[in-house]
Amino acid sequence: MIYKYGNGKERKIIMCQAPVRETVDDTFDMFYRYRVKVVILLVSKEEIDVLDKCHFKSYPDINKFVQSANYVLINRTSIIDKNSCFYEHDCELQHIATKKTLLLKLIQYMDWPNKNIPVNRKTLYGLYKRAVELCKNDYLVIQCSSGVGRSGTLAMIIHMIDTIDKENPFDPFKSLDFIRQHRYKGVQTISQFFLALCILYQHFKDEIKFVDRKLYDQFMELTQIVFDGEKLSYC
């Protein structure tokens, strides 16, 4: 998914399934061919440890490596952000045949259950800010267990904030349609759609309150009703 925004800037996003045992080499090959610099992994700890929806050994622990048919991925350093909501891993991907390497950053966010929403909205907004800070012109890869729901939701957040224009009416359904043109059924649930809008409102909170001091709080109350209606815990 590639689009223009701002003053001629270009955003490049790939939404895909997190690697399973059979797709590790293909995943690494995609990173290498597209010169990916940032990978966002949106897979909960339960999915990794219990449900086996992500072959997490494809992303090694610090100072360890994993080898596929054609690549070796080495984790050089790992840190946790100050709010303890995601891990950052600085990795080196080496193509075995040519010995050429690619440096990339893996951001591991595990506070987002499948077909659900994160418990804390602020941590997701922090993840968004870190992702766009790190990835200006290169490909950004967003992975979840299917590459559809959570990946599509984060991509929609980025797209809406990138392309919102005060000169034109805002229509979130256009962003949703754009995401789904590139990833079939991207953003799977009503709660994920409203979550994307919540992050948008959070990003423009000051501007919204300047226009109407009640609008921001009223919208958050509305979203809480939506989340409660789907029996979701949200704070």
- Structure letter (DSSP) for residue 103: E
Backbone angle region of 126, left / alpha / beta, with phi > 0 → left and psi within -120 to 50 → alpha: alpha
Measured N-to-C along each axis, helices 172-182 and 149-163 cross at an angle, to the nearest 10 degrees, of 130
- pTM to 2 decimals? 0.90
Residue 140 Cα distances to 131, 168, 193, 224, angstroms: 8, 27, 21, 30
Domain topology for 2-229: Protein-Tyrosine Phosphatase; Chain A (3.90.190)
| pLDDT single digits (tens) 35-66 | 999 999 998 777 776 655 565 555 666 667 88
Domain ranges of the chain: 2-229
| pLDDT single digits (tens) 124-163 | 999 999 999 999 889 999 999 889 999 999 999 999 999 9
Which segments of 16-170 does DSSP mark as H helices, in order? Answer: 24-33, 45-49, 121-134, 149-163
- Count CB neighbours of 22 within 10 A: 8
Of the candidates 134, 144, 149, the one whose C-alpha atom is nearest the C-alpha of residue 180 is 149
